[in-house]
Structure 1
Amino acid sequence: MRSLPYFCRGQVVRGFGRGSKDLGIPTANFPESVVDNLPADISTGIYYGWACVDNGDIHKMVMSIGWNPYYKNTKKSMETHVIHKFKEDFYGQILSVAMVGYIRPERGFGSLDELIAAIHSDIEEAKIKLDLPEHLKLKEHHFFKTSVATTANQILNGHRL
């Protein structure tokens, strides 16, 4: 995937409401405009990288891009699980992410428990990989140092946000 690392930013919108409720793993969803502008070589699947909300601290994250076969979605989504416990929801705030690596393709699961186990495995893999020097340095990328307010009209990875 030539487009990695891939940087994007967008306002957190309400998703399907399954992350916290069904899975116990809260996710932040990007609007369709961000999903629709992904480069062609960013295939569906599970990614890992860095994320921050507004101009806050930078945390490890995992992201699912695709149709979530277990739920049979008809609309492609980008759902980010920031590996950090937040005190409250952050709908409407700006989520900035750097996708730095790919874990696996999306796939269907026979049960909700299998899906949850796979997500936990993805999270653990992301934690380990993000500690590698080549990934740690991206946590310090100037993308995260630029104020969210001043980048609203800049182009990131080829698309205007």
Structure 2
Amino acid sequence: MEPAFLKGVVVKGFGRGSRQLGVPTANFPEEVVAQLPPMREGVYFGWAQVAEDEVRGMVMSLGFNPYYKNTHKSVETHVLHKYEQDFYGEQLAICVLGFIREMTDFKSLESLVEAIHGDIKTTKECLDSGEYEKYKHELVKYSLAH
């Protein structure tokens, strides 16, 4: 797939990433989600940059999250770094590089959490391959533009 870039201010989401799943996510406002090029619903990997922090790996879900039966499309990004505090109001820029899996309606919260941890593992393996390293620089340029 061609890399897709997106940036916007992080807003409060559904409040379940950290609390229910143990995997905090950063959410974009709906008007930013609408700017994504046409992409199928699912889980993706790539790079993320919060404000002017270093570029880090990320896992992103795109869609309606059938387990939670969301009524609007969301982009929820888990940055592969443990931040000491929330970063609501900060700019988040992402570079989406590859598709991991389709959205799934899980039978239990435990199976959803297990899949998320599998997505994180897959993301680390893909990004550690070195194949996508060049896109870190592209993300920084995109983040600084405008």
SS in 2 for 1:55: coil
Query: Under a length normalisation based on structure 1, what TM-score does the superposition of the two structures give?
Result: 0.86
3-state SS of 1:125 partner: helix
User: What runs of 5+ residues in structure 2 fail to find an aligned partner?
Assistant: none
Spell out the pairing of 1:1-161 with structure 2 (5 A cutoff).
1=1, 4-40=2-38, 42-141=39-138, 143-145=139-141, 148=144, 151-152=145-146
Residues 125 and 6 (structure 1), Cα distance of their counterparts in 2 relative to 1, 3 Å cut: same
- Identical amino acids, percent of aligned pairs: 52
Aligned Cα root-mean-square deviation (Å)? 1.3
SS of alignment partner, residue 110 of structure 2: helix
Alpha-carbon deviation of 1:39?
A: 1.5
After TM superposition, the score normalised by the length of structure 2 is 0.95
Count, aligned residues:
146
1:92-147 per-residue CA deviation (whole Å, 9 max, x = no partner) reads 00001000110001010000000000000000000000122321221222x31466
Q: Quote the Cα distance in structure 2 between the aligned partners of 1:147 and 1:98.
A: 10
The one-letter code of the counterpart of 1:22 is Q
- Which aligned runs of 4 or more in structure 1 are off by greater than 3 angstroms? 145-148
- Give, in whole Å, the separation in 2 of the partners of 1:96 and 1:21: 24
